Homo-oligomer: A and B are copies of this chain.
Amino acid sequence: MTNEKSISPQTQTWEKRFADRARNMHASEIRDLFALLGNPDIISFAGGFPDADLFASPQFLDGYQKYLRDCPQVSLQYCASEGYLPLRRWIAGFMHRQGVICSSDNILITSGAQQAIEFLSRLFLEKGSSVAISKPSYLGALQIFDAYEPDYRFFDAKGKAAGRPSPDTDDASPLKLIYANPDFSNPTGETMGTCARRRLLALARDNDIPLVEDAAYSALRYEGSTLPSIMQLDIEECGSIENSLVVYCGSFSKTMTPGMRIGWICAATPLIQKLVLLKQSSDLNSSTINQMVMHRVAAEMFDERVLASRQAYRQRRDNLISALEQYMPDKVCWQKPEGGMFVWLTLPDGLDANALLAKAIALEGVAFVPGRPFHPDGSGRNTLRLCFTSCPPERAREGIKRLSRLIIDEMADLRSVAPPEMVPVPGL
């Protein structure tokens, strides 16, 4: 989908000036999809956006009013690179409630979990390093890793080696980082069980490498019991966050608002100290006033907002699943996620979700994200991701109805153009 446009001479001239690592920085499908979301006629399951109606805008307004009136000298000034201390303390308390005993020294404020993953990659990856990931994996993480031309190794939802090379193979470059999104993962919505989490921990221990736990969706559970975070499991074994190899990346984007760009890293103190240097040289600090306001609103009503989001998103998930059950043909598969924002569809072999997207937009006014870009090995052509949080229920049902109709048509076309030996010959 990308790189198929003709490249202008001026672009070619700049490409020659770039460092080698820029070769692997390509436009993603998700990026191009931002443009579609501006068209209100498109029913979009594409962008992984939280429902903006759930944002606590009156409370955010109160916060901005307070800090701009009471202390503009502080709230509009630079702040320490590690972040606003009261917010770091609040997050340490939040982590404690997740079973992770830590202090504000273990917390760095980042501009979302995306920045956290970028920093960790810059700190741990060399060109050609091996990185263990699930397949499929979060596209935004792959975009970061790709710049290092990594040697990917895959694990499945059980934390076991999947495909070749496996994460514990000996004949490749040394494994330098494990990246996992264990709760309601982007894009599949799958959750890793406790045994799977322990397997990844063992892999981290065996290789003495960090395990990056992307917990962006962890608060959004709609059913079933909460599982211990990988960091909690590690600390139970190793006794203290200071001995843990897990680096926990949290975010307020899915529970409070993504528009203020506030996330965090929770990790052992020496690692946080190094990451503070990276933060300082990367953008000095995250917005001071946004950190102050986020602290105030989170302290006041984080749990309440999470509860409201869970309630609203549970209904949207159920609505989407019921529409899929009603309209989709038998050969399309999915699993009901226990939380998060996504349902992952597997289409019959031979259907290509990239081609489907173009038709879905043009013919049915429906958008989603094709699954292939989430697969660094180019597989997954017949998969796609549906985000159910930002689309109102009735529109979502209508969107699934239209998408199902298109898929049924595509399946019929597929049969009609099947190779000759597959076509029943009369009289035989």
- CB-CB < 8 A to A268: which residues of B? 10, 14
Of all chain B residues, the one with the shortest Cβ separation from A293 is B64
- CB-CB < 8 A to A277: which residues of B? 25-27, 31, 143
Copies of chain A in the complex: 2
CB of A47 within 8 Å of the partner chain: yes
CB of A400 within 8 Å of the partner chain: no
Q: Which of A36-53 contact B (CB under 8 A)?
A: 47, 49-50, 52-53
CB of A287 within 8 Å of the partner chain: yes
**Do B123 and A282 touch (CB < 8 A)?**
no
**Do A261 and B287 touch (CB < 8 A)?**
yes
Of all chain B residues, the one with the shortest Cβ separation from A285 is B261
Shortest CB-to-CB span from A209 to chain B, Å, is: 6
Q: Which of A263-301 contact B (CB under 8 A)?
A: 268-271, 273-274, 276-278, 280-290
**Do A25 and B111 touch (CB < 8 A)?**
no
Per-residue CB contact flags for chain A residues 380-418 toward chain B (1 = under 8 Å, else 0) read: 000000000000000000000000000000000000000
Cα distance A31–B61 in the bound complex, in angstroms: 32
**Do B52 and A73 touch (CB < 8 A)?**
yes
Per-residue CB contact flags for chain A residues 5-38 toward chain B (1 = under 8 Å, else 0) read: 0001011011101111110011110010010000
CB of A358 within 8 Å of the partner chain: no
Q: Known: A123-B19, A260-B76. Is A270-B11 also a contact (CB below 8 A)?
A: yes
Shortest CB-to-CB span from A121 to chain B, Å, is: 9
**Do B118 and A282 touch (CB < 8 A)?**
yes
Interface residues of A, count at CB 8 A: 88
Shortest CB-to-CB span from A21 to chain B, Å, is: 7
**Do A287 and B260 touch (CB < 8 A)?**
yes
CB of A72 within 8 Å of the partner chain: yes
**A280 is contacted by which of B31, B77, B261, B276 (Cβ under 8 Å)?**
B31
CB of A60 within 8 Å of the partner chain: yes
CB of A181 within 8 Å of the partner chain: no
Among A26, A273, A274, residue most surrounded by chain B Cβ atoms (within 10 Å): A274
**Do A143 and B19 touch (CB < 8 A)?**
no
Shortest CB-to-CB span from A278 to chain B, Å, is: 6
CB of A258 within 8 Å of the partner chain: yes
Per-residue CB contact flags for chain A residues 206-223 toward chain B (1 = under 8 Å, else 0) read: 001110000000000000
Cα distance A410–B242 in the bound complex, in angstroms: 44
CB of A137 within 8 Å of the partner chain: no
- CB-CB < 8 A to A55: which residues of B? 72-73, 76
CB of A333 within 8 Å of the partner chain: no
**Do B19 and A124 touch (CB < 8 A)?**
yes
A and B contact pairs by CB, cutoff 8 A, 17 listed: A8-B270, A10-B242, A13-B270, A14-B271, A17-B124, A17-B208, A18-B123, A20-B126, A22-B123, A25-B278, A31-B280, A49-B77, A57-B68, A57-B72, A64-B65, A76-B260, A118-B282
